[in-house]
Copies of this chain bind each other. A is one copy, B any other.
Amino acid sequence: MDLSALKTALLVRDVGSFAAVARLLDLDASSVSRVIAQLEQDIGFRLFQRSTRSLAPTSEGELYLNRIAPLVEELEAAGDEARTTAISPRGILRMTASISFVQECLIPILPEFRKRYPEIDIELLASDANLDLRAEGVDLAVRFGSLPKGDWIVAKLMTTSYRVVASPEYIEEKGPLSHPDDLSERDCICFAIPGFRTYWQFRKGGDAESFSVPVGGATVISNALSIRSAARLGMGVALLPIMLVQRDLAKGTLLDLFPDHACAATSFETAAWLIYPSRSYLPQKVRVMIDFLKAEVRRSGS
């Protein structure tokens, strides 16, 4: 049963002639004749009684067509409205990012986003776990690290860099560190993610060769904000993204231990990445959030 066949039948009912419907649809009348004949065969009863020059609906045909007309109309409307919803910024935007990114970067700018797009509701999944984006029904993810793999579309939001920091109290009590190699003998607060626990990477100057320093310590935390808090409390040395510590560095609550070195956990080529399901049929709500985040990054210059 074809929906366009049903619409043709409804048109025949309204217009009263295969030939006239054929002219309206720019078809051959034989095609209309066959469409209706096939439909009658599919549904098992006759819709129209016809002679060589006229036709009229049968009583069953009339009942049936009157019944399906609103259904066909509503099916069309359902498609139109769903399409409109997909292309106009509305609905629930379900996104995920690390807890720290949510807290430090997203929450502060969400009021402006909500003000600009009042019809988009935000559902934030703050998680440091490597979520299954599809299973979680996520529209948009912000991920840090190397270029993510997979079939989802990836766009760079911003580059990131890391700093090795400690509190003034810690330095005063335990003494300064003159070189990254010294870290192997210090209490480091490590991130509970493979690659963050055991080696930190360093490079002095843009072209210089990088080197790894083994790190360890009594404290492993899964949450970057908590790592920052622990560092503030003098519990040790921490490697944290610049976005989390730039205010502490400015205030002097944390000190950048190796300002002449580029620092990283696993790779120097890290960034904040926007990850979304596909380019085709991208809902407008996702599109506008992507644009909004990119604009925010440009505005703040980081």
Residues of chain A at the chain B interface (Cβ within 8 Å): 1-4, 6, 40, 42-46, 49, 51-52, 54-56, 58-60, 63-64, 67-68, 71-72, 74-75, 78-79, 82-83, 85-87, 91-92, 94, 134-135, 137, 139, 150-151, 277-278, 280-281, 283
A78 touches B56 (CB 8 A): no
B82 touches A134 (CB 8 A): no
- Best-buried of A60, A137, A150, A277 by chain B (most CB within 10 Å): A60
Q: How many copies of the polypeptide does the oligomer hold? A: 2
Partner of A278, one of B46, B59, B64, B86: B46
What's the nearest-Cβ distance from chain B to residue A122, in Å? 13
A75 touches B79 (CB 8 A): no
List B contacts of A56 (CB < 8 A). Answer: 134-135, 137
| Bound-state Cα–Cα, A1 to B278, Å | 23
Contacts A52-B151, A56-B135, A135-B56 given; indicate if A64 touches B45 (C-beta within 8 A): no
B91 touches A59 (CB 8 A): yes
A78 touches B68 (CB 8 A): yes
Partner of A82, one of B60, B83, B92: B60
| Bound-state Cα–Cα, A201 to B42, Å | 51
- CB-nearest residue of chain B to A86: B45
List B contacts of A3 (CB < 8 A). Answer: 1-3, 6
A134 touches B54 (CB 8 A): yes
List B contacts of A54 (CB < 8 A). Answer: 134-135
A44 touches B83 (CB 8 A): yes
- CB-nearest residue of chain B to A137: B56
What's the nearest-Cβ distance from chain B to residue A210, in Å? 34
A51 touches B4 (CB 8 A): no
What's the nearest-Cβ distance from chain B to residue A72, in Å? 8
What's the nearest-Cβ distance from chain B to residue A40, in Å? 7
| Bound-state Cα–Cα, A52 to B151, Å | 9
Question: What would 9 A/B residue contacts be, using CB atoms closer than 8 Å?
Answer: A1-B75, A2-B4, A6-B75, A44-B87, A46-B277, A46-B278, A51-B134, A60-B86, A68-B78
B64 touches A68 (CB 8 A): no
A44 touches B1 (CB 8 A): no
List B contacts of A52 (CB < 8 A). Answer: 151
List B contacts of A4 (CB < 8 A). Answer: 1-2
